[in-house]
Amino acid sequence: MFSHQLEESKLNRVEIADFDADVIKEMLQFIYTGTSPNLDKYNGRLLAIADKYELSRLKYSCANSLIRNINIENAGTALALAELHSSKKLFDVAVEFIKSNEKSIIATESWKNVSETNGALVQKYLLAKYEICVEITRKRKRSV
């Protein structure tokens, strides 16, 4: 990062203005120790910073934290985070979870926010859901 003649290399500091101090502290904790005591608390914001700075181990840990903690209220947000930060595993788990709990999830604020702000993501979810249904139907036909 400091090898080019950028402002950071001249000033010998890096300013991170788009994340709050708690998230930056957790990121640095993870970089230096491999752990983040508040990973579950900041998992979405840590996923964003890990994606931005290409911290693959942190990104993987955040996705797993989001998967462990997925529920009716946050499933829409988890799907949006998966799409935004290119986490296929999180996306696949979120699709399966939403598919299994669709009636409850579509009534949540999380899902309303996703559907109002990201119609393309809702379409992608529906296509993934449809593809899963087609695959199950094909497997059933083969086993008969």
Distances (CA, A) of 126 to 85, 115, 132, 134, 138: 19, 12, 10, 12, 18
- Does the pLDDT of residue 9 top 50, yes or no? yes
Decide: 91 and 83 in contact? Cβ < 8 Å.
Answer: yes
Q: Residue 26: how many CA atoms within 13 Å on its side-chain side?
A: 24
Q: How far apart are CA 25 and CA 3, in angstroms?
A: 24
Question: Does the structure show a pLDDT above 50 at 51?
Answer: yes
CATH numeric code, 7-143: 3.30.710.10
The predicted pLDDT at position 131 comes to 72
Q: If pLDDT is split at 50, 70 and 90, which confidence band does 1 have?
A: very low
Give me the residue spans of the domains in the chain.
7-143
pTM, rounded to two decimals = 0.78
Range scoring the smallest mean pLDDT among 34-48, 74-88, 101-115, 128-142: 128-142
Above pLDDT 90, what percent of the chain?
60
